[in-house]
Amino acid sequence: MSPASASPLPAGGGGAAALRHVAIIMDGNGRWAKRRLLPRIAGHRAGMEAVRKTIRAAGELGVEALTLYAFSSENWRRPASEIADLMGLLRFYLRREVAELDRNNVRLELIGDWRAFEPDIVADLESARSRLAGNSGLTVALALNYGSQDELARAVRAIAADAQAGRIDPAAITATTIEQRLDTAGLPPLDLVIRTSGEERLSNFLLWQSAYAELLFVDTLWPDFDQAALESAIAAFARRERRYGGR
């Protein structure tokens, strides 16, 4: 067995590659509001508009998949009132936006432990996903109650259960086995992670999937992100040389 055959990573060898999958850590809503002396919810509302613009732009620019970090498994640490505001916005977004997503031929994927949300939100998420399932354009993956460590723990539990039931030989577990158990299993390999607001950390987002992704940190606060910002991120990506350990 060559070492690479157990790896889901592309073969080595450099060069610019096509951009298939972009993920965004949409950060800075609170600071955007604070600068305007507005309540945080105003920042989250403005952030929702940036989501609309970015989805439309990604579709027009021919991106295959766009994963958006909307609520982390650590965001439960925020005050109950802010969590309630965020859940309210998610309800509003799902009800208002699905028709527009459908018109734009967008497919919806969900990653994270989103089934832990309130039952009405879970139902809206499921119904949005099934309404958009037949579309063939941009795939938008919403990361909701998502944390990479939680995702990996869930994958490990599933693999352990398979091993215990004799469905898998522990000695045969490879990186591919694990990858197939992640929430992102149906999505293309991750090419580019963008984080807005100037913070330079991953905050428990797509840790496994970022193994060879390009990382881009921009100072723009999320509510100010738009088509031009996405275009300049894609231009920065195009200037990167990806090697995957090769040469």
Residues that bind Mg ion (CB under 5 A): 27
What is the token pair recorded at 1?
Answer: 């067995």
Tell me whether residue 154 is exposed, middle or buried, using C-beta atoms within 10 angstroms of its C-beta: 0 to 12, 13 to 18, 19 or more.
middle
Q: Which residue is it, tokens 């096509």?
A: 18
What, of ligand IPE, Mg ion, none, does residue 145 touch, CB below 5 to 8 Å by kind?
none
CB of residue 83 to ligand IPE, shortest distance in Å:
9
What is the token pair recorded at 57?
Answer: 């732009």
CB of residue 24 to ligand IPE, shortest distance in Å:
8
Q: Closest CB to ligand IPE among 76 and 157? A: 76
What is the token pair recorded at 237?
Answer: 């990506």
Residue nearest to ligand IPE (CB): 30
How far are the Cα atoms of 103, 139, 219 from residue 163, in angstroms, in the given order?
Answer: 44, 32, 46
Q: Closest CB to ligand IPE among 67 and 104? A: 67
CB of residue 25 to Mg ion, shortest distance in Å:
9
**Interacting residues with ligand IPE (CB under 6 A):** 25-31, 69-72, 75, 86, 197, 199, 201, 203, 222
Cα torsion through 65, 69, 71, 74, rounded to 10? 130
What, of ligand IPE, Mg ion, none, does residue 26 touch, CB below 5 to 8 Å by kind?
ligand IPE
